[in-house]
Amino acid sequence: MNTKAKVLIFFFFISALVISGSSGIAQNEKPQKDFSIFPKYTNIVVEKGKEVEIDVKIINTGKEEEAVVLSVISEKKAKNWNARLETQWDKMKIRSLYLLPEKPDNTASLKFCINPPESAKEGDYNFILRGITKDKKVHKSVPITIGLIAKAEEQHPKKVPGEIKLITKYPSVKNPAGKNFEFEIEVKNNTDKSRIINLGIKLPVGWRAYCSPRWEKEKRISAAKIDAKSSEHLLLTIIPPINVSKGDYPITFAVTSEKETETIELKAAVTGTYKLKMGTEKGQLNVDAIAGKEKHFIIYLWNEGSTAIDDISFFSNKPEEWEVSFKPNKLSSLPPYEEAQKPEKVEVAIKPSIRTLPGDYMVTITAAGKQDQNKVDLRTTVKVSTKWGWVGIIIIIVVIASLAGIFIRLKRR
């Protein structure tokens, strides 16, 4: 083979490498616009009456920012299943989303949710998750099949009366909103052998609870061992949500041991919170007054709690012979400030005794309702009336004039 032929073969070999390399780069390069719909499962089987949730990821696989419009298409026999896409934590229904091209902002994690009605028949039901870009240039669809089967019969542990017993002295506890509820529960093992009990509880939505040994509040337990013919004293702590409304809330506490389950019904009664606040019109806690004259000023009352305070009366602690009056002298009810949107106005009149010497005195005003009370201490500065000042000046002038007249007469002699 001559030199020219070798050069040609080498040239073609290098050209082939370059072309194949370029082809590989082109294949690995991201498209300008694209996205993927990726459900974790596409064919599942569930029992009738159970809600279905499937994790779904929407991924922007292109180079550009992308707005994707989403929809769920249900076949005719599943139209009333309330099929939807929701956010994972706050359960917002999603109809479209916006994705950036860079990680991690190129991915949105959602849930595909459906609620099979009780009347639905057993069988397969088909749904399609569909996405399309707002410019309608790219669209994707993914089918999902839900197989519906009959409910399995619930197997309840056989209850043998009397082996495990739950006792509490106070099955109903009343507390204001924001305060935890505590129930002391005795678990008795009436058998001739030690038993392991598992603890369970049924709570209102949004409530939380934990169980502790009665004298070890810092511990959190979900099971306990009770010796034969012995008892275990538990402290059940119930935590209501921050925004809980006034009312009675049922709670079921249960213990399970071997084949026996024992329950006890409890009640948490939320009475609401009461927080009576009081202040002067200008926020100052000092008042100027004149002996023998009434001093009028305004105080404001408001309720920072969640429930109205009833039957509020006003009282005063004052120096002897002083007079203090209120207008009105009683409030039938003071609703929460969030509801009323304004404080209640009360006019106060303080009248120091005519014999009061100038100086500072303390007057305490108390507002007391059925559920809460509050007070303010007012420093009252008593001053002398100006008319007495003029009387004093006139007396001084008269005395000076009299002395001057006497002096003049004595001088003439």
Are 137 and 168 found together in one domain? no
Q: Can you tell me which residue has the tokens 């001088």?
A: 411
Clarify whether residues 105 and 180 are in a common domain.
no
SS in 3 state form for the chain? CCHHHHHHHHHHHHHHHHHHHHHHHHHHCCCCCCEEEEECCCEEEEECCCCEEEEEEEEECCCCCEEEEEEEEECHHHCCCCCEEEECCCCCECCEEEECCCCCCCEEEEEEEECCCCCCCCEEEEEEEEEEECCCCCEEEEEEEEEEECCCCCCCCCCCCCCEEEECCCCEEEECCCCCEEEEEEEEECCCCCEEEEEEEECCCCCEEEEEECCCCCCCECEEEECCCEEEEEEEEEECCCCCCCEEEEEEEEEEECCEEEEEEEEEEECCCCCEEEEECCCCCEEEEECCCCEEEEEEEEECCCCCEEEEEEEEECCCCCEEEEECCEEEEECEHHHHCCCEEEEEEEECCCCCCCEEEEEEEEEECCCCEEEEEEEEEEECCHHHHHHHHHHHHHHHHHHHHHHHHHHHC
Counting the structural domains of the chain, the total is 3
- Pairwise CA distance, residues 309 & 255, whole Å: 40
* Residue 272 confidence (pLDDT): 76
Q: Give the per-residue pLDDT at 367.
A: 93
Contacts (Cβ under 8 Å, ≥6 apart) of 71: 95, 130, 131
400 part of a folded domain: no
Tokens (6 digits) for 296: 């009028």
Domain identity same for 236 and 294: no
Q: How far is CA 226 from CA 10, 183, 237, 257, in A?
A: 87, 19, 20, 10
- Whole-structure pTM value: 0.40
Q: Is residue 154 part of a domain?
A: no
Last residue of a domain, one of 149, 179, 197: 149
Q: What is the pLDDT of residue 286?
A: 85
Token representation of residue 190: 């009436």
Phi, psi of 237 (to 5 degrees): -105, 125
Q: Using alpha carbons, select from 146, 140, 144, 137 the residue that is nearest to residue 70.
A: 140
Instruction: Please give the Cα distance from 198 to 201 (Å, whole number).
Output: 10
Tokens 């709570």 correspond to 203
Quick check: is 395 in a domain? no
Shared domain check, 264 and 282: no
Which tokens sit at 98?
A: 């916006």
- Provide the domain limits for residue 332: 276-387
CA distance linking residue 351 with residue 171, whole number of Å = 54
Which of these three, 252, 270, 288, is where a domain ends? 270
**Is position 404 within any domain?**
no
Instruction: Specify whether 341 is located in the same domain as 379.
Output: yes
Domain boundary (237, 270, 303) is at: 270
The β-bridge partners of 326 are: 348
Q: What's the sign of the alpha-carbon dihedral 272, 277, 281, 283?
A: negative
pLDDT digits (tens, 9 = 90+) for 354-363: 888 889 999 9
Residues 288 and 376 both lie in one domain: yes
- My answer on whether 288 and 249 are in the same domain is no
Within-domain flag for 192: yes
| Number of CB atoms found within 10 A of residue 346's CB | 20
Q: Which residues contact 252 (CB under 8 A, 6 or more apart)?
A: 201, 202, 263, 264, 265, 266
Cα–Cα dist 210/192, whole Å: 29
Per-residue pLDDT for the chain (413 aa), expressed as one digit of tens each? 555 555 455 555 555 554 444 444 444 577 889 999 999 899 999 888 788 889 999 999 998 899 999 999 999 888 888 899 988 766 788 999 999 989 888 999 899 999 888 888 899 999 999 999 988 889 999 999 999 888 776 555 454 456 889 999 999 999 887 789 999 999 998 888 888 889 999 998 889 999 999 888 888 988 888 898 899 999 999 999 877 778 899 999 999 987 788 999 999 998 877 889 998 877 788 888 888 889 899 999 999 887 888 899 999 999 999 999 999 989 999 998 888 888 999 999 999 998 888 899 999 999 999 888 999 999 999 987 655 556 567 777 777 777 776 777 766 65
Residues 285 and 257 in one domain: no
In a domain, 402, yes or no: no
CATH no. for residue 40?
Answer: 2.60.40.10
Measure Cα distances from 277 to 337, 369, 388 in Å.
10, 12, 40
Shared-domain flag, residues 109 and 212: no
Q: What are the tens digits of pLDDT across the range 230-284?
A: 999 999 999 998 777 788 999 999 999 877 889 999 999 988 778 899 988 777 8
Residue 204 falls inside a structural domain: yes
- Output the pLDDT for position 1: 53
Q: Report the pLDDT value the prediction gives residue 125, as an integer from 0 to 100.
A: 93
Instruction: Tell me, yes or no, whether 70 and 110 share the same domain.
Output: yes
Are residue 126 and residue 170 in the same domain, yes or no? no
Co-location of 72 and 142 in the same domain: yes
